[in-house]
Structure 1
C-alpha cells in the first residue's frame, strides 16, 4: 500500500515535503507539479495518478517517514505535452515553481504555485479548435432561478444571463447545450441538481463547487460589475467566474472587456432535440461537421469569422430590426463581386488576432506571435479602404471599429526580425541596430569567450602581469587570478576577493 496524503504526519516530514504539503492543502483538487531542479515531480496520491495516466515509472523518495513517498516526474522542458494529456482527461494541475535560483538560495528553495491549469482555462492554440469557442461556465442557483456566465479565456469572449421564468431550468440546460462548456463552476445548491450531475457524468466534464461567498452581489460590486437592483443572478455568476480566473491565472484577465448580460428573449431558444434535428453544427447520424448547416454555409476566411458564424447559427436573432440590418450588410457585399472578392483575399491567412490578444493579456505570447501581430496590423489600413466602397450602415460601423495601431505596428517592424525563434529564451528576436544595448548583449552572448580572452590579454598588457588569468565560479562570477609573486603589480582598481592556497 502506497503512502498517500491522508496518511502523512506533517510534523515529521522533511522541510521540502512540508512545503509541498502546504501547497497541496491550498489546491487539494489539483495535481501538484513540484519543481525540483530540471524536473517537475509529483508525490503521494498525485504521483499514483500521474504514473497511471501518463504511463510514467513510479519511484520513491525519502520524506522523513518510515515509508518512502511515491514519486514520478517529467523534464521541465517537456512538461507541456504531459500537461496537455492531463487536461484533456479532465484533471486540474497546479504549477509549483522555484521562485529563486537554487544556487543562490540560503537553505530551502522558495517555491509557490504560480499558475493553475484547468480544462476551461486553456489558451494553448494547439489544444483549441480554431472554429469554436471553449467555454468555462459558472452557474448560480437561488431557489428555482439561475444565473449563468460563460467565458472563453483564449479570446476574452464573455457571455452572461439569468433565467427567472417558470421554465428557468429548461432554459438553462438549453443554453448549456448550445455553449457546450468544458468546465463548470457551481454554487452549493446547484451542485445537488440531479440533471446537472447526470450531464457532467455523461460528458465527463470537470466541475468545481465554490462557496456562496464567491457567488455574491458584494463580490460582483468589488469586481467592478455594473448592474441594476433587479439584476441579482447574472452578477453573482459573473463574479464567481472572474474570481476563479484570477485565482488560477494569478492575475486579472485583461482580455475580458466590459461585461454586459444578454437577454434570452432577444434570441430564438432552441432545445437540445431541435438543435440535433436541424443539424446546425453536426449531423445526427455520425455527429460530423460535414453535412451540417454550418458546413454548407461556412465560407469564412479566418478562424475568427468561423467562430462568429457558428455563434450566429447557434443563437438565431428574432428581433426584426437586427435581422434586417444583418441582411442589408450581406446584400451589400453580395451585390459587389469585385469588392467582396478583394475583401476575401485581404482576409485570407489573417492571423487569429482575437486569441492572440488573449495570449498577450495572459503574458504567454511568443516572439512568433508578435510577428503575426505585426502582420495583422499591417493589413488593417487596407481593410478599412476596401470597406469604404460600401454605404451600408452595418459595414460602415464595422469600418469605424477597425482602429489602426500605427505606432505599435512601426515598433514591431523596427524591433523584430522576420523569422524569430519559437521561444523567448532562444534569443535572436531583435533586429540588429534596433537598440545599441541589445546589439552589445547579443554580441557578448555570441562571442562571449572571445570577449573574455581579449579582456584577459588587455589587462595582461596594461598591468605587466604575464600569468594573469580570467576565471569563473558561482560565488564571485568572473574574476582575475594573480600569483603571489605578482601582487605588487596589481592595480588599485582591482578588488581582492579571496586568497587561493
Structure 2
C-alpha cells in the first residue's frame, strides 16, 4: 500500500528516469530512492527516510526551494541532469493531492542562473549530425540568443569542437570524435529526418524557405539546428523564444585552429599546468564588459583570414588607437554598462 503522493512521484519519475527529479513539496525540493542517495552524497546533505504507506519507508533528501541555485551547480558539474517538478495548482484551492509537473530540465548547456554562469565565457549547447564525409554542426548560447550552424568536412569537426568549447553536445554516435570535457546527450529523434527537421525550423522561424539562412544544400546543418530546438523545447521551453534568428558560418572566413595549436600558442592557458594568467587572452584582455570579454575570446579562437573584414576591424581599432579623447569617453561609458546581451534575454 502506498500514498497518492508516492504514486504521483513514481508516475513523473518514470518519464524522467535518467534525470534526478527534484519533487516540490511545500517549501522544499525532495528527492527519493536512488536520487536521494546521489543527492545526499554530492551535496553533502542528510539522507533521511519517509514513510509512504504502512511499512514503506523510502530514502529521502531535500533542499529548501529558495536555495536551489546554490546546489544545482554541484550536480550539473558532476554530469547529472535535474528535472524540476513544481506544484502547478493552487495548494489552497486543491482538494486532495496538488497537481505537479516538470517545468524544466536543467542541463550543462541550458543553464540560465547567473551564479552558475561564467560572465566571461559563452555557455554553448552544440548539436552534431554526422554524414559520410561531412557533419552538421549547430550551437547556441541561450543566455545571449546566439544560434549558428554550418555543414563542414568531417576532418574539420574536431577543431570546431575545440574552438567552441561547448558545455554540452548533442550527438548520436560518441565513439568517433574527441568531445573534450563536454557533457554528452542524445540528439532528439527529429534529427533523423531531414523532412521533419526542415518543418521544425520553418515552423519556429515562421518562414517558407530556409534559403535566407544560408542553408540551401546543407541538410546536415538543418538537422543539427532542429535538434537543438527540439532539445530546448523538451528541457528549457522558455529559452526557445530567445532564438529568433539562425546564422550560418563558413570556415573560409577564419583560420581553423585545432586543440594542439591552441595549446601550443598558449592562447588561453600557458605552461605545463595550464596557467591562465599568462595566456595571450589574459595579456590582451583590457575589456570592461562581459560582452567585450566574450567577443575578444571569440576573436582569438577564430582569427580572421578574410582580408576585407580584417581591414575593417583593423581600421576601427586604429581609429580608437589614434583618437585618445573619444577612446577615454567610450571607456568610461563601458565601465557603467551591464551584460546587456544576457539581460535582454531575461526580459524576453
* Residue from 164, 170, 174 that aligns with 2:159: 174
**Residue 296 of structure 1 pairs with residue 274 of structure 2:** no
**CA 1:122 to 1:324, structure 2 compared with 1: closer, same or farther past 3 Å?**
same
**Separation in 1 of the partners of 2:130 and 2:341?**
32
Give yes or no for the alignment of 1:89 onto 2:89.
Answer: no
State whether structure 2 residue 98 is matched by structure 1 residue 109.
yes
Q: Name the CA distance, whole Å, in 2 between partners of 1:288 and 1:126.
A: 24
* Highest RCO, 1 vs 2 (Cα 8 Å, sep ≥ 6): 2
Q: 2:221 aligns with which of 234, 244, 261?
A: 234
Aligned equivalents of 1:130, 1:77: Cα separation in 2: 23
More strand as a share of residues: 2
Rounded Cα–Cα distance in structure 2 between residues aligned with 1:125 and 1:75:
19
**Length, aligned pairs only:** 338
Matching residue of 2:270: 283
Which 4+ runs in 1 deviate beyond 6 A? none
- Tell me how far apart the structure 1 counterparts of residues 72 and 96 of structure 2 sit (CA, whole Å): 30
Given that residues 220 and 238 in structure 1 are in contact (C-alpha distance below 8 angstroms), is that contact kept between their aligned partners in structure 2?
A: no
Tell me what 1:210 maps to.
Answer: 187
Query: 1:64: how far off?
Result: 4.0
State the alpha-carbon separation in 1 of the partners of residues 333 and 187 from structure 2. 46
Deviation at residue 273 of structure 1 after TM alignment:
0.8
Q: Retained in 2: the 8 A contact 1:277–1:284?
A: no
Q: Which residue of 1 aligns with 2:254?
A: 267
Q: 2:67 aligns with which of 74, 78, 89?
A: 78
Against the structure 1 CA distance between its residues 241 and 286, is the aligned structure 2 distance closer, same or farther, given a 3 Å change threshold? same
For residues 117-136 of structure 1, give each alpha carbon's deviation from its aligned partner in whole angstroms, at most 9, with x where no partner exists.
Answer: 11111122222221111111
Do the aligned residues in 2 keep the contact of 1:215 with 1:237 (CA within 8 Å)? no
User: Unpaired segments of 5 or more residues in structure 1?
Assistant: 1-11, 362-501
Kindly report which structure 2 residues correspond to 1:155-166, keeping only aligned pairs within 5 A, or say none.
155-164=144-153
Alignment of 1:223 with 2:201, yes or no, is: yes
Residue-by-residue CA offset, 1:390-436 (whole Å, 9 max, x unaligned): xxxxxxxxxxxxxxxxxxxxxxxxxxxxxxxxxxxxxxxxxxxxxxx
Rounded Cα–Cα distance in structure 1 between residues aligned with 2:197 and 2:133: 22
Paired residue for 1:121, among 103, 110, 114? 110
Sort the Cα spacing of 1:325 and 1:229 in 2 relative to 1 into closer, same or farther, 3 A. closer
Q: Hey, what's the Cα distance between the residues in 1 that align with 2:327 and 2:312?
A: 18
Residue of structure 2 in register with 1:243 after alignment: 230
Contact 1:34 1:42 in 2 (8 A): yes
Superposition deviation, residue 56 in structure 1: 1.8
- Whether contact under 8 Å (2:255, 2:305) holds in the other structure is yes
Native 8 Å contact 1:120 1:136 kept in 2: yes
Q: Distance in 2 between the 1:22 and 1:219 partners?
A: 30
Q: Distance in 2 between matches of 1:360 and 1:313?
A: 30
Post-superposition CA distance 1:86-129 (Å, at most 9, x none): 12222111111111222321121100011111111112222222
Distance 2:234 2:272 in 1: 41
- Alignment partner, residue 492 of structure 1: none
Identify if the C-alpha distance between structure 1 residues 356 and 211 changes in structure 2 by more than 3 Å, giving closer, same or farther: closer
- 1:278, CA displacement in angstroms? 0.8
Structure 1 vs Structure 2 CA RMSD: 1.9
Change (3 A) 1:300 1:215: farther
Verify the 8 A CA contact 1:216 1:239 in the aligned structure 2.
no
The answer to whether the 8 A contact 1:215-1:239 is kept is no
Instruction: Measure how far apart 1:253 and its partner are.
Output: 2.3
Is structure 2 residue 328 aligned with structure 1 residue 341? yes
Q: Aligned-pair distance for 1:229?
A: 4.3
TM-score relative to the length of structure 2: 0.91
Tell me, in whole angstroms, the C-alpha distance in 2 between the residues paired with 1:109 and 1:313.
52
Return the alpha-carbon distance in structure 1 between the equivalents of residues 316 and 93 of structure 2.
63
Normalising by structure 1, report the TM-score. Answer: 0.64
Aligned partner of residue 149 in structure 2, secondary structure? strand
Asked if the contact 1:139–1:146 (Cα under 8 Å) also holds between the matched residues in 2, the reply is: yes
Residue 251 of structure 1 deviates from its aligned partner by 3.0
* 1:313 alignment partner, one of 300, 308, 323: 300
1:100 corresponding residue in structure 2:
89
Shift of 1:65: 7.2
**Which segment drifts farther, 142-151 or 106-115?**
142-151
In structure 1, the partner of 2:241 is 254
